[in-house]
Structure 1
Amino acid sequence: MTLRIRRTVVVAVLAALATTALPAPPAGAGARQQAPDESARRADHTFVVRDGTRLTLAGRPFRFAGPNMYWLGLDENVGGTDPADPPAVDHPTYFRIRDGLTTARRMGATVVRAHTLGVSTGHPRSLEPSLGEFNPEAFDRIDYAIAEARRQGLRLIVPLTDNWQYYHGGRYDFLRWLGLSTDDDGAAFYTDPAARAAFKEYVRTLLTHVNRYTGTAYTDDPTIMAWELGNELNGMTADWVDDLAGHVRTLAPRQLVAAGSQHGVDPAVLASPHVDISDSHYYPPTAAGIAADAAAATAAGKVYVAGEFGSGQATDELLNQVAANPDVTGALFWSLFGHHDHHGFVPHGDGFTVHYPGDTPAMRTAVTALTRFAGRMSGRPAPAVTGDRPLLTAVDADYGINTLRWRGTAGATGYLVQRRGPGGAWATVSGTEPVGADDAPWFDLTTPTGPVSYRVVAVDATGAALAVSRTVGTTGSQDQVYDPLEDWFVSAGHSDSLRRTPAGDGVLVAPGRGRSGELRYRRADLTAATVTVASSGRPRAVLQVSADGTSGWRTVRPRIDRVGPGRYALSVAGLRGVDGMRVVWGRDARFAVASVALTARSDSTASTAPGAFALTAPAPDATGVSRLAALDWSAAPGAAYYSLTVSAHADLSAPLVAVSGLRTPGFTPTTAWPAGTTLHVRITATNGYGSTTATAAFTTRADLPGVVVDDFDTYPSDAALAADYPRNTGGDPITATLAPAGEGSGHSMRLDWTPGASGYAGVIRNLSVPQDWRGTTGLRMWVEPGADGQQLTVQFVASGFYWEKTLTFAGTEARVVQVPFGDFAPPPWATPGPLDLGSVTQMSLYPGGTTGASSLRIDSVAAYAS
């Protein structure tokens, strides 16, 4: 079948406005460097060509490095206004795509590998939600990502399906749709004619699509360097590889074909005359392993690419050896994420997440090594590109202390928060060192009384200004929120008729031609609002307010100011008794909304110091407290933030913890408290009018021998436990909840799972600080099976290498098990390596051995010493 995309048409004037640049940054900041460098510009419309076992571009050798950015077409990490909100699957925002690709360029990338630009089946948001039914809306973000990569001079490797059953789909979708067996690792995908035909139709639909932003068919776009038959396709047969590679070659004769299985080099790939690139993956990477696979691939006449390698092992020592090997044409790390739409970075808990310039010293070291490696592979240094300017998304007044949130800038290494009073000069109030994007929310601990204005300056490693945010004015009794409209999380609701159109550094929101629409906001005690719109003339926009935000809407007359070419600001002020505001489009309206800024009275006001409060957990003077115990205290009425000091000395000298600026009444340590020690605690609640202090003490228990991994006593709720033990999304459903203690006091962890099509279920714990298990003998834990014959696979990552052991339990009685490290072995899918216990970064638990819904409890996990 031929898929025809029905585009939602926005009026012609808005299409013209879509190319209008947003206001330039204030003087003193460099302009956004949007264009690719000259060498990339010259090669924009040139296909990458295979020349034997090498690649060329415009007649020159082409070697590359860069990231995997699997989420560019469909993102599993979309959450709410707070990056801590639970993730959901949705299309990534235009900002995330643009910011992520700009970050890739800043790290020297010339090629990006992106699964969900090609793998998009089986989910309501995907390209093919069910067999033979295609979702035109799913093409929009794929189109935009390809167009943005093209604008930035990046090339793409696009897998077409996945060996694994992740949210974005894969080869098992076709088997389930057709009622075919998934046994034998889904072998029918390669052998059944119906499965092959269904997949080929999906491939044809994708490859022949015409990009709405470029007007170019995917097969005619040199931005797409290679189509990969699939991600880590195990079990491919030689005839399947030949048939599918030939199918892609026929559809896209000027683009390359890549293929590879999970480990090593695949004989079927090496033998196929239609495959250009052999792709191998490494967790962890080793120079010897890469060299061996590269030699095998090039000996067979193929171009060799390391399509994935774990970022945690990115060092100059390793990557210099890879770059020096002429058989290695390209290498791509796993995996890069950019800034969150509202503040901070997009979080992802697989243990290989990379943010620029790095959240931790280890990540910063890896980012530096990866950037140098990209320069060695491409032969040119990373360009000093900068993304969208920083955006102040919220300024809240918390009991006399202002709290700021901002969206970060790709390419920036830090930020300066600046403040000025009426008629005054700008002054940096964030300290002598730049703060990071993940330091938001940021507290202005010296907030003065009265009106002030803020801005955020993005800086590079030398401290030079790259870009400056818009200015936000506020008082000590106001909350400000800014909605860039990239998502719907700030708004309270909208009509289905509204559509987004990317426009420069933002979006325009409007209904389709001839349709009405509305965009609603709900905030308690709204006092003012500014709606910025794009329009070819004075806009005929209707603004309405409501006392409850849901009914009784009344129209208000805004002040209208022209703020730029084709841009107008519609402002209302002096609102009283208003909890809601909405923008209304009539059927003949000819405007689009570019942003919405709201001002509300703060509900966090005070005129005195915070009220009394107390430590609640551990209980004051408690004994036998877990060494991993978190501290919780009752909320102090009127507190803007808390400071905490913990010491083994009554006078609080030589503190173990001394932190300030805690927003919530609680603290979780990153290292264990000393064993068998009385600890003294002082907590200070502060607002703009003074401070109140509470003190307490507790005594920790004598420790388990060795190193405590987790005793589950530190989690205040099931949600906190689940956040630390997220489900492996490729597996069957499983949940982690708190249960009564199995050993000692506090809690144990209960795992509930239901065996299904994936064949496994598990939870993954990424340790916030690597543990040193040297000097210990094995792993010890308390276990209570839920059924006779249950199994538990215990897996950990030590110095980048995976190790696991499967335990089988007879009976259901609780017991303590000890597993010597000598019993652990690398999983069959992992790269073998030495057992170096000096840096353990991850522990995963995979229960099994049952056929129905099951449960199991675990407590007191530790690396024990004999």
Structure 2
Amino acid sequence: MRLRIRRAAVATVVAMLAAAGLSAVPASADVRHQAADPSPSRSGTAFVVRDGTRLSLAGRPFRFAGPNAYWLGLDENVGGTEPGDPPTVDYPTYFRIRDGLTTARRMGATVVRAHTLGVSTGNPRSLEPALGEFNPAAFDRIDYAIAEARRLGLRLIIPLTDNWQYYHGGRYDFLRWLGLSTDADGAAFYTDPRARAAYKQYVRTLLTHVNRYTGTAYTQDPTILAWELGNELNGMTPDWVDDTAGYVKSLAPRQLVAAGSQHGTDPAVLASPHVDISDSHYYPPTAAGIAADAAAATAAGKVYLAGEYGSGQATDELLDQVAANPDVTGALFWSLFGHHDHHGYVPHGDGFTVHYPGDTPAMRQAVAALTRFAGTMAGRPAPAVTGDRPLLTAIDADYGINTLRWRGTAGAAGYLVQRRAPGRAWATVSGDRPLSADAAPWFDLSTPTGPVDYRVVAVDAAGSALATATPVRTDPTGDRVTDPLEDWYVSAGHSDSLRRTPTRDGVLVAPARGTTGELRYRRADLTAVTVTVGAAGHPRVVLEVSADGTTGWRAVRPRVDRVGPGRYAVSATGLPRVGGVRVRWTRDARFAVASVDLAARSDAVTDTVPGAFTLTAPAPDATGVSRLAALDWSAAPGAAYYSLTVSAHADLSAPLVAVSGLRTPGFTPTTAWPAGSTLYVRITAVNGYGATTANASFTTRADLPGVVVDDFDTYPSDAALAAAYPRNGGGDPITATLAPAGEGSGHSMLLSWTPGASGYAGVIHNLPTAQDWRGTTGLRMWVRPGSEGQQLTVQFVAGGFFWEKTLSFTGTQGRVVEVPFGDFAPPPWATPGPLDLGSVTQLSLYPGGASGAATVQLDSISAYAS
């Protein structure tokens, strides 16, 4: 089959950067990133080798722990400038790759397992979008991730295909491309000669690629510890394992081969002389299950790896037993995500997401246990590495109150926001305790009336400074935005000729030499712009402005200041509140843009207190209100934020809720309101000039027997509901929206889905706090199917174990369904365990039984008591 490749024009950009003294490849470790192997001169260039059932590196035993970071080559979690924006599939930014891998190293990892560095088929952005057609653009992030892993002293385990039909592709792609049957769990992938040949062509194209950042072929790079035949491959035949593993060995004789199926150990893997590592997965993990599989693998002469285990069960009690078992060479948790490009963390709703140092107390405990475990397995504590320094990405002036957003730093335990008035010293204004990275947007309740500088300081667990953001000056009438150019979400548009080139702490953007280009921004009332560029000498930057950001562009004469070796600040100030700005490259331009900073007059300016507003839900004096009800109120004109007090006493003493700094006119409780009680509410709208108050009350309904899981009355909008019930990313398209109540009052949830190639669709709801269902009999819910013959699989996680039951419906009328817990069973893919209802953490819903677009409506889900 003919290999068709589209070439990317990057050489001239790299040459220009080299002339400017700026690295276009990952830099060698500096103080900020210091730390990997104890003998980097030996171990950094040595391959991990197998000695029977054990591994060694540079003559020393090699045991390891770390994360799965499946998204490093192709990411399903790329979204807009807000972390809650809908995700799309795209290449991860260089920052996300760098930040995620640095975070892994900070947690003590020495090995990372990364699916999309090897599994990349069937998507337009994949390495192989269609049979025999290869897209070299997909190699760029894979190259970069491998180079970054090498810099940090990490090793990689890379699966080559996937048993499942996820966004990044898998073995079923080859069957569909060749017109082969997908029946019998896709058995033809292992038996049909055409499927084997197509898979081998893909493997050869991947393994023989030469990394543009290191100049090393993948097969010659010791960073790659092992190639895995595929993720959780079910149905592998002995001859397929022997043939494929032998083929990988022939291409990469100095690297190891791993393989494993969905459950336990695979006889075909244990019998193959070409497989080095047997990989087993656990949801949830148990010490006994891991010990049994490790014993079976080592008895067969293989190295044993727990390639995936659920992070929610990461405790010292479990992990100490795993570390004490000499048959366990490695264990990798599912799964790690880093900081978002603009603020907060990359969100992912599968229930196993890990952010460092942890979003919740439970996650913080898990992160600490995982970090200790990695240190035990490696024989040394986790290194104190940190990533890029924090970056202030936006400061918004909202009616006299400044709101700050910042991009976090890998390895930081928290952040201090500091402020200074002109001529004054820096002072911390964010309180005594460091803020989390997801505290942004953070607003300065004590915003002064004049101009001030802000900066964010990343600190470690002891409160010592690790890195400090570049200060930004603003005032309560102006907004500031910084675009680090890792993505295009801040910009209003750009020419297709622009290319990104990563540097040691960001990117440079430019067209290829001899090509024109432009980068545009649209913002009302722009007053200033600063473009930071890299260039070998004084840059000739064409800077233009427009009244509407679209037409009538005219050039302005910028000021150019040298701000570092090969770096210049190109700025224009005193703009007459234009509506847009753009940077243009002429054909002979010799510069690249590193960042763009915009200043604009705020559209939220006032000199009076907030206007009047009222509580809208529950309606004032309402009765029979859900115990889970959210509070909503009309927006107060001119409000920068709101304070809320809720009490069972008219004088508001002993409040049930007392919060300040609410950005939007609404509040969702994390615990149920008391049953059958009249609750008194005071809401205060605040801005930089004063406050306005509204008072109301409502009465909750009497308690229901059992435990209310969700009655869907807590969500103020479809977006809030969708955020609480995100789609299972591996399934077909499905959305959750609010609908009229099916039972009682308030709202219900409508699931709308379209059956497709994945064969299932579902939403996952992580309970805000674990629920205790002991003393209840089963699950109760109101359901209205959208068509005859629909099904609904109800799944929950109790005590770390999965349980599910599939319901079948006749007719389309609404009805109450009660399902005893005795009818639930572990899914076929999950590790069986005891039914412990004392800690229920997740509820998932998977509708089915439809041939086309379909809906199902649900309400009043509860654990009922007989």
Please, what TM-score do these two structures have when normalized by structure 2? 0.98
Partner amino acid, structure 2, of 1:91: Y
| Deviation of 1:858 (Å) | 1.4
Answer yes or no: is 1:591 the counterpart of 2:591. yes
2:451–2:473 CA contact under 8 A, matched in 1: yes
Q: Which residue of 1 aligns with 2:663?
A: 663
Structure 2: which amino acid aligns with 1:624? Answer: G
Distance 1:66 1:791 in 2: 39
Change (3 A) 1:16 1:187: farther
Deviation at 1:558, TM superposition (A): 0.5
Q: Is 1:377 the equivalent of 2:372? A: no
Aligned to 2:637: 637
Partner of 1:811: 811
Q: Name the aligned partner's letter for residue 655 of structure 2.
A: P
Among 13, 17, 29, the alignment partner of 1:14 is 17
8 Å Cα contact 1:3-1:205 kept in structure 2: no
Deviations 1:300-345 (A, max 9, x none): 0000000000000000000000000000000000001011111111
AA of the residue aligned to 1:643: S
**Aligned counterparts, 1:242-281, within 5 A:** 242-281=242-281
Percent of matched pairs sharing the same residue: 83
Following superposition, the deviation at residue 455 of structure 1 comes to 0.7
SS at match of 1:196: helix
**Coordinate RMSD, CA, aligned:** 1.5
Partner of residue 73, structure 2:
73
* 2: CA distance, partners of 1:680 / 1:60: 67
Give the Cα separation in 2 of the matches to 1:358 and 1:40.
Answer: 30
- Range with bigger deviation, 282-291 or 801-810: 801-810
Q: CA deviation at 1:551?
A: 0.6
Question: Partner amino acid for 1:466?
Answer: L
Q: Structure 2 CA distance, aligned partners of 1:767 and 1:237? A: 41
Partner deviation per Cα, 1:411-451 (whole Å, 9 max, x = no partner): 11011111000100000101111111110111110111111
Deviation at 1:784, TM superposition (A): 1.8
Other structure's SS at 1:10 match: helix
AA matched with 2:589: A
Task: Name the residue aligned to 2:56.
Answer: 56
Q: Secondary structure at the match of 1:254?
A: coil
2:430 matched residue in structure 1: 430
**Residues 293-692 of structure 1 mapped to structure 2, 5 A cutoff:** 293-692=293-692
Helix, strand or coil at the partner of 1:322:
helix
Q: Which residue of 1 aligns with 2:209?
A: 209
2:240 is paired with a residue whose SS is: helix
Q: Distance in 2 between matches of 1:792 and 1:37?
A: 50
Q: 8 Å contact 2:626–2:713 — kept in the other structure? A: yes
Counterpart code for 2:240: W
Distance between the aligned counterparts of 2:442 and 2:402, measured in 1? 8
Deviations 1:664-723 (A, max 9, x none): 111111111112211111111101110111111111122331111111122223232222
Q: 1:310 to 1:16 in 2, by over 3 A?
A: farther
Aligned to 1:161: 161
Structure 2: how far apart are the matches of 1:140 and 1:466?
30
Residues 333-388 of structure 1, C-alpha deviations (whole Å, 9 max, x = no match): 00010111111111110000000001110000000000000011010110011111
Equivalent pair of 1:404/1:443 in contact (CA under 8 Å): yes
Cα distance, 1:14 vs structure 2: 1.4
Q: What SS does the corresponding residue of 1:32 show, helix, strand or coil?
A: helix
Shift of 1:541: 0.8
Offset of residue 165 of structure 1: 0.8
Shift of 1:817: 1.4
For 1:839, the equivalent position in structure 2 comes to: 839
Match of 1:105 in 2: 105
Q: 1:146-225 counterparts in 2 under 5 A? A: 146-225=146-225
Using a 3 Å threshold, how does the CA distance of structure 1 residues 217 and 224 change in structure 2: closer, same or farther? same
CA distance in structure 2 between the aligned counterparts of 1:657 and 1:212, rounded to whole angstroms = 56
Q: Is the 8 A contact 1:69 1:113 kept in 2?
A: yes
Structure 1 counterpart of 2:775: 775
| Displacement of 1:18 | 6.6
Counterpart amino acid of residue 441 in structure 1:
P
Task: Work out whether 1:88 is the aligned partner of 2:91.
Answer: no
Alignment correspondent of 1:229: 229
Residue 211 of structure 1, CA deviation? 0.3
Greater alpha carbon shift after TM alignment, 139-148 vs 765-774? 765-774
Aligned-residue offset at 1:733: 2.7
Distance 2:394 2:561 in 1: 23
Residue 253 of structure 1 aligns to which amino acid in structure 2?
Answer: P
Partner of residue 793, structure 2: 793
- 1:824 corresponds in structure 2 to 824
Letter in structure 2 aligned against 1:337 = F
Structure 1 residues 119, 21: CA separation in 2 closer, same or farther (over 3 Å shift)? closer
Partner SS, residue 525 of structure 1: strand
Cα drift, residue 731 of structure 1: 2.1
- What is the rounded CA distance, in whole Å, between the counterparts of 2:98 and 2:756 in structure 1? 37
- Unaligned residue ranges in structure 2 (runs of 5+): none
Between stretches 390-399 and 815-824, larger displacement belongs to 815-824
Report if aligned partners of 1:743, 1:860 keep a CA contact under 8 Å in 2. Answer: yes
Q: By how many angstroms is 1:789 displaced?
A: 3.0
Query: Offset at 1:31?
Result: 5.3
Change (3 A) 1:83 1:666: same
Please say if 1:696 is aligned against 2:696: yes
CA distance in 2, matches of 1:227, 1:512: 35
| Distance of 2:383 and 2:267 partners within structure 1 | 39
Q: What CA distance in whole angstroms lies between the structure 2 residues aligned with 1:517 and 1:757?
A: 39
1:133-148 map, 5 Å: 133-148=133-148
Are the aligned partners of 2:249 and 2:255 in contact in 1 as well (CA < 8 Å)?
yes
Structure 2 counterpart of 1:251, one-letter code: L
Letter in 2 for 1:97: I
Contact 2:641–2:686 (8 Å) recurs in 1: yes
SS of 2:12's partner is coil
CA offsets, 1:718-752, max 9 Å, x none? 23222222222222332322222111011222223
Aligned-partner Cα distance in 2 for 1:432–1:311: 31
Q: Distance in 1 between matches of 2:40 and 2:813?
A: 65
Distance in 2 of aligned mates of 1:174 and 1:18? 45
Instruction: Give me the whole-angstrom Cα distance separating, in 2, the residues matched to 1:481 and 1:855.
Output: 41
Distance 1:515 1:851 in 2: 50
Instruction: Say whether the 8 Å CA contact 1:615–1:694 is kept in structure 2.
Output: yes
Partner Cα separation in structure 2 for residue 618 and residue 541 of structure 1 = 56
Q: Does the CA contact (< 8 Å) of 1:309 and 1:332 recur in 2?
A: yes
**Is the 8 Å Cα contact of residues 35 and 383 (structure 2) preserved in structure 1?**
no
Q: CA deviation at 1:768?
A: 1.8
The correspondence of residues 121-132 of structure 1 with structure 2, limited to 5 A, is 121-132=121-132
- Matched AA of 1:696: A
Cα deviation for residue 228 of structure 1 reads 0.2
Structure 1 stretch displaced more, 56-65 or 708-717:
708-717
| CA distance 1:579–1:696, change in 2 (3 Å) | same
Q: Residue type matched to 1:119 in 2?
A: V
Cα distance, 1:35 vs. partner?
Answer: 5.2
Show CA shifts across 1:122-162 (max 9, x none).
11111111111111111000000000000110000000011
CA distance in 2, matches of 1:33, 1:685: 45
The Cα shift of 1:556 comes to 0.3
Whether the 8 Å CA contact 2:3–2:132 is kept in 1: the answer is no
Deviation at 1:229, TM superposition (A): 0.4
**One-letter amino acid matched to 1:400:** G
User: Quick one: distance in 2 between partners of 1:328 and 1:722?
Assistant: 40
1:520-555: CA deviation from partner (whole Å, max 9, x where unpaired): 011110001111111111101100000000010000
1:715 partner amino acid: Y
